[in-house]
Chains A and B, each alone.
Chain A
């Protein structure tokens, strides 16, 4: 990854940027979910406990919310062959080849 010979784009297009951040969000979602689902334990440990009906309503709201959120995030994660993706695109390959030619590694000038 750190090899200087390989141009890895530092700045990417808006859509790719959005997609990558959404991938981060998708990775964070279960963490958020875990924290939210642990909340009722705090209430149960409180002074006068917690009522089942309250916890139930809370949990189902969190559940539905997580489902909706997951749906929104997943919509952005459609695989798309973008031009500045980190995968090797033909354009990148030519760049490398050209750079190599320039250095006199392959082929005559």
Chain B
């Protein structure tokens, strides 16, 4: 039986891997629009129902009747009230590119990393028991299948928990860290979770239907049985009913995993409209058969049986092994999906707010360094996933699988619910400050630890018996379960009441007496009035020289391709060519947003301010905060936007005009250059031919010498005329291309051989594997371009040990060939000039008419590609981009 179970379980896991993999692939190929459907979103919300729901709800019901419903009624109220809170959270999450609940809170309170670290640590403490709970439930359910101790579930299968933990870590790392940008959806994970949501609902309904119609005689009979059982009376204390509903509603908003699926993975605000009715119905169906199962379990199973395992033991007892295995898979699904999403959410928080800032500080703290930061960030995230799951496993081992499932779950809920005042205050109250949030969180958590978490281990384990009975330092009003004389209350309600109450009080009081920093006030206005103006305030201001540093930094976080695309797009939007946009406030904001999707708002803010300097809060920004009439601001913003656009158009016109003037100057220069270039050889040819003509008595040696000079000069003349002709033919589009098949490697080989003749110790590094690209183009012309670029590096690279690296990258249908040398590069001001005719930078120590790059550009354009100067590579770098086939 156990072997069969293991086999089914493994098959199921393999199936999940395959589904996740297929979904990821479909999404990456742009297929699978259904992956973004509101239904999938709703199903992914069902990770609210963990193994605690699957097994624990029945146990809860068997112990205290209908009270278990409060755990699902709270989220139902939140969901049908989406217009109040969730809509706002999702809108803010999308407009600020929020990556986690810690990021949300830190972002709201002035992008403070201290606050993010607090929230992260508290979330780790709050969720670790919950992960342990999931591992425990899987272990218990395995134990239920092994023959001995099957009804109490006390079998010793610790190894199971270890295997499950390892498998979950592997899955999460594989599908949860595909991309660094946490805002990008993890399609594989989401689809696996949606599938698991269906499995657990199906399994629980199947067991319920079997219990009502298979073991019993239908609904009326079931109701009679309920009336006859010990659960017949509805004995729920009012305080627990209200308290637990509020607690579960709060936890629904604050649990890191719920925040992850509700806000971070949300792709479309409109999905909330579907979830608003579908999610309540889902949890309703999940809890529909809980009481019947509990009553049947109490009736039919021996009195010592663990009520948390009724869902498994009822089918097992009746010999329905198929149903039992289905039920096991339901529980397994609930546990695994919760651990996966929690691990993703927690790892984002831990790596963005703790590991990365420390790493940046340790490695010198500057954002402009060599090395790819992306790998560090991804590694940090992967390690954090392992760490989070490991912590859960350790807690499970140390706590000893004893406590009832429901108890651990509620302790966890109460822990994360402490985020609520800071979160809601941040969304609705502009006066909330960072210090207020920290004070509230601190007070709330201290109380939670003292009144609920530590006592939950039992008197005498962590808190001494003396403290439990007589209070801290013998002060009776400090008894953990009867604080301030609140004697005789239910311990959970007592703890939740005091912690949330004093948390809120501290939050409000400190917020009122402290004064927020400008960034806090701006962010506050952004969050509270997110529906009125969705622009971020807080403008950066920087100079053009910093663009290159920014590019270098962005390359390290986003990867060079994506960063270059982003910068090139921004430059084009500003009407500039090349890769370096002006660091306008708009661009810097967009860049900060983009980066914060990868490393969190606080880190992104810090990194940009390292390069650009402090963010300046302009008078207009402050006005936006001070001025209550957001409507007026909208109008003036629109007018401003228009005038900014006009300014941009004017700048483009000015640029065009400048270029025209330059061209005209260049034309004059071109003519004088051509006449000069033609005249010099002409003069010497004329002079020496006159000598040959007029002097009879020349010695044969001299004759020979003069004739050679004439010959050399006329060769130079021919070459110049050839180049000019070549250029004019290319420019007029009359060139005939000789399109052939060839490979890039051959073409480069030929170019290196041809350009290699000249003296000079230039080292050329190539990547032969990447160069094996088939081309269909004019390979001779292409080789001509490569020869030119290599020869240029040879001529102009001024490093002591000159080296040229040729990199080849495939991008869609294009081949990109970069020529990067290690010299001092080309000054920013000259970037636009080098492709012009007769442009030779500085002194012409190396001969050449300055036509080479102009010809290169024309050729590459004829071949359907482009050539550009690539800044930020540590030397002169040229990028040739051309299509595989013409």
Contact = CB atoms under 8 A, between A and B. Distances in A.
Interface of A: 1-3, 5-6, 8, 23, 26-27, 29-30, 33-34, 37-38, 40-41, 43-45, 49-56, 59-60, 63-64, 66-71, 73-75, 77-79, 88, 93, 96
A40 B234 contact: yes
Nearest to A24: B83
A22 to B, nearest CB: 9
Interface in B82-126: 82-84
A34 B81 CA distance: 11
Contact of A74 (B227, B234, B273): B273
B76 A44 contact: no
Interface string B603-644: 000000000000000000000000011011011001000000
B66 A70 contact: no
Contacts of A70: 79-80, 276-277, 280
Contact of B66 (A55, A68, A78, A79): A55
B564 to A, nearest CB: 35
Interface in B257-277: 269-270, 273-274, 276-277
A37 B138 CA distance: 33
B280 A51 contact: no
Contacts of A1: 628-629, 631
Interface stretch (B237-245, B379-387, B811-819): B237-245
A88 B695 CA distance: 92
B291 interface: yes
A41 B243 CA distance: 13
Nearest to B222: A53
B65 interface: yes
Given A6-B632, A55-B66, A44 B273 contact: no
B632 A3 contact: yes
Contacts of B78: 30
Contacts of B634: 88
B721 interface: no
Contacts of A93: 635, 638
B267 to A, nearest CB: 15
A77 B69 contact: no
10 contacts: A23-B83, A30-B84, A33-B76, A41-B241, A49-B235, A52-B66, A52-B233, A67-B80, A67-B277, A74-B276
Contacts of B277: 67-68, 70-71, 74
* Interface residue range, chain B: 35 or more
Contacts of A8: 631
B84 A71 contact: no
Given A41-B241, A63-B284, A74-B276, A55 B638 contact: no
Interface of B: 65-66, 69, 73, 76-84, 223, 226-227, 231-236, 238, 241-242, 245, 269-270, 273-274, 276-278, 280-281, 284, 288, 291, 628-629, 631-632, 634-635, 638
B270 A79 contact: yes
A30 B276 contact: no
A98 B82 CA distance: 40
B635 A51 contact: no
Contacts of A59: 66, 69, 73
Given A6-B631, A30-B81, A78-B273, 12 more contacts: A3-B631, A5-B632, A27-B84, A37-B73, A49-B234, A52-B65, A53-B232, A56-B66, A66-B280, A67-B80, A67-B278, A70-B280
Contacts of B69: 59
A35 B73 CA distance: 12
Nearest to B290: A56
B77 A33 contact: yes
B242 A38 contact: yes
A42 B238 CA distance: 9
B233 A51 contact: yes
B635 A88 contact: yes
Contacts of A45: 238
A33 to B, nearest CB: 5
A8 B632 CA distance: 12
A64 B284 contact: yes
A29 B80 CA distance: 7
Contacts of B80: 29-30, 33, 66-67, 69-70
A101 to B, nearest CB: 13
Given A60-B284, A63-B284, A74-B273, A50 B234 contact: yes
A70 to B, nearest CB: 4
Contacts of B84: 27, 30
Given A53-B227, A74-B273, A88 B638 contact: yes
Contacts of A29: 80-81
B77 A30 contact: yes
B281 A67 contact: yes
Given A6-B632, A26-B82, A53 B226 contact: yes
A78 B273 CA distance: 8
A44 B281 contact: no
B427 to A, nearest CB: 15
A80 to B, nearest CB: 11
A26 B69 CA distance: 23
B433 to A, nearest CB: 26
B53 to A, nearest CB: 15
B57 to A, nearest CB: 13
Contact of A55 (B234, B269, B273, B635): B234
Nearest to B78: A30
A56 B81 contact: no
Contacts of B632: 3, 5-6
A70 B85 CA distance: 15
Contacts of A69: 80
Nearest to A44: B234
A44 B235 contact: yes
A69 B638 CA distance: 39
Contacts of A74: 82, 273-274, 276-277
A44 to B, nearest CB: 5
Closest 5 CB pairs of A and B: A30-B81, A71-B277, A26-B83, A74-B273, A50-B234
Contacts of B638: 88, 93
Given A49-B233, A63-B280, A77 B273 contact: yes
B235 A67 contact: no
B631 A78 contact: no
A55 B69 CA distance: 11
B231 A6 contact: no
Contacts of A78: 270, 273
Q: Which of A6, A54, A74 has the most CB of B within 10 A?
A: A74
A51 B234 contact: yes
B51 to A, nearest CB: 23
Contacts of B291: 52, 56
B639 to A, nearest CB: 9
A32 B291 CA distance: 25
B453 to A, nearest CB: 28
